[in-house]
Amino acid sequence: MAESNRNSTRKRTVQTQIIKVGTNEAGKLPPQAQELEDSVLGAIMIEKEAYGSVADLLRPEVFYKDQNRLVYEAIRALAAKDQPIDILSVVEKLKSQGTLDQAGGAVYLADLTRRVASTAHLRYHAQIVAQKATARDLIALAAQIEEKGFDETQDTDELMQEAEAGIFEISQRSQKRDVTQIDPVIEEAFKRMEKAAKNDGSISGIPSGFDALDKITSGWQTPDLIIIAARPSMGKTAFVLSMAKNMAIDRKIPVAIFSLEMSNVQLVNRLIMNVCEIEGEKIKTGKFTKEESRRLNTKINIMKGTPLYMDDTPSLSIFELRSKARKLVREHDVKLIIIDYLQLMNAQGSSFGSREQEVAIISRNLKALAKELDIPIIALSQLNRGVEARQGIDGKTPQLSDLRESGAIEQDADMVCFIHRPEYYHLYNDEKTGKDLRGLAQIIIAKHRNGATDSIWLRFRGKYAKFQNEGEAVDADEMATIPVATAENSISIRSRGMNNPLGAVSFGQQMTQDSYSNINSMGEDIAPQF
């Protein structure tokens, strides 16, 4: 924190002193436009509506002259309280703040108003003042990075992160969007409606490949930030890889995956399990049956040449992600980005007092990136242990308050989805509906900024790290491994009927809790955290 204060103090000092640019160059005066500063301030004190037209462009820090900075601070204080802004009110405000003499006195303010020839080009002049301030900030940052670059004790990677974070911060301050009249926005809305109509009106965004989910969301929408959260072993990575397969392999939609936890080879092995329906242990050992070898050789060719891009950079920073994401969209026309997972990212180069603040910076920047690139971004997230402490089928259901480390994730996200597998907690039957929950995963849409909240069911096939639509077929050998609940584990399954999608297991079978754990581990042991 002290270092941050020293840096900010130094930055303010650099802005008011002569900066040395390079080791062999003479001192240069920082970029400035003092005459325009005077003219802008004078116009604000003369013209009633002037402040409102430039308030989005100007901050006190953009003024090079100390007197002008103090005058503008007084003007902003008046505007904040909706008080009139003129030379008399500004003088009185400076008096009340005890800074009138430092601001040059009443004579200086009167002189500012006399220098105004016209207020016709006020906004243009204010833009020049702001641009000069941005140039000074860049020079100050460059001087700071140059000094640290000569320090051999500095870590080069950290210095690069600091430089990128500094430039990003400056660019965010300087980027301003003009107000848009509604007509072009209406045209854009109609274009999107026409595009949706060509898809039979069912899917207007990027389809996940899960029919029930796409029915609620109409596909992942641009430029949404979607958070998919769950406790460990619920299937977060398996879920997004199943989606990536549905998008990139089945529909040829370009998708990028940033994996901070697993290597690219591990991800591809998971994808092979999914596509070829081969157990992970066999992929590790390379020992296959003839049928599995045939399936592997046939389906592996389907995966080749697909527009799926992977990056396994560990401890990826939000600023590295921005650079790589822009390149992927520009060069490969990537339509969706997946991040596995958010809590493993960092915000190196930025100042923060706690991990919660760092996560807040990351989630805010992810939303800004989705908006900038106009694509959906899906970020996986961990849940805290609050779920484990609660009892019963309802108690084990995740809630928004379970999101780990920062409430900013919930605030910044356009959609928050939870993955919940009741059978993980040995809950095999929904007593309210009679639904057989074995082999199923619930996808809960807990927040949906632009639509309804709801939940849907998918089938989870653990040994293949695969999610699929609930109604899709499962082979008989796999169904034989689904546990049957008995009184021994305190769960009673109702008559199979229509509520059981896995109707091949005889209800006369008996299974103890220990034998269930042994069979269930067949999927879990392949990779501890799906």
Mapping DSSP to helix (H, G, I), strand (E, B) and coil, where does residue 482 land?
A: coil
* Long-range contacts of 122-127, Cβ-Cβ distance < 8 Å, separation of 24 or more: 122/40, 122/43, 122/47, 122/50, 122/53, 122/54, 123/53, 123/54, 123/57, 125/36, 125/39, 125/40, 125/43, 126/40, 126/54, 126/57, 126/58, 127/57
The whole-angstrom separation of Cα 268 and Cα 252 is: 17
pLDDT for 213 equals: 92
The whole-angstrom separation of Cα 181 and Cα 168 is: 29
Cα angle, residue 356 at apex, residues 354 and 357 outer, rounded to 5°: 70
pLDDT for 415 equals: 92
Q: What stretches of 155-293 adopt beta strand conformation (E)? A: 225-230, 255-259
Peptide bond before residue 223 is cis, with ω within 30 degrees of 0:
yes
Cα angle, residue 185 at apex, residues 179 and 190 outer, rounded to 5°: 175
User: Which of 293, 286, 339 lies closest to 312 in space, CA to CA?
Assistant: 339
Going 500 to 505 to 508 to 511, the CA torsion angle's sign is negative
pLDDT for 333 equals: 93
The pLDDT tens digits along the chain (530 residues) read 444 444 443 333 333 333 333 334 446 788 998 889 899 999 999 888 888 888 888 888 899 999 999 999 999 888 888 888 999 999 999 999 999 999 999 999 999 988 887 778 888 898 899 889 889 989 988 888 888 888 888 888 778 877 877 887 787 676 655 566 677 777 877 777 777 666 655 678 899 989 999 999 989 999 999 999 888 888 889 999 999 999 999 999 999 999 988 888 888 888 888 888 888 888 888 888 888 888 888 888 888 889 999 998 888 888 788 888 988 998 999 999 999 888 888 876 555 667 777 888 888 888 988 988 999 999 998 887 777 777 766 677 888 877 766 677 878 889 999 998 888 888 888 777 778 888 888 899 988 988 888 999 999 988 888 898 987 766 655 555 555 544 344 333 333 333 333 333 322 333 333 333 333 333 333 333 33
* Long-range contacts of 407-412, Cβ-Cβ distance < 8 Å, separation of 24 or more: 408/356, 408/359, 408/360, 408/363, 408/364, 409/227, 409/342, 409/359, 409/363, 409/381, 410/227, 410/447, 411/363, 412/225, 412/363, 412/364, 412/366, 412/367
Q: What stretches of 68-170 adopt beta strand conformation (E)? A: none
Tell me the whole-structure pTM to 2 decimals: 0.64
Catalytic positions: 261
pLDDT for 386 equals: 72
416 membership: H or E segment, kind and range: strand 415-420
pLDDT for 349 equals: 56
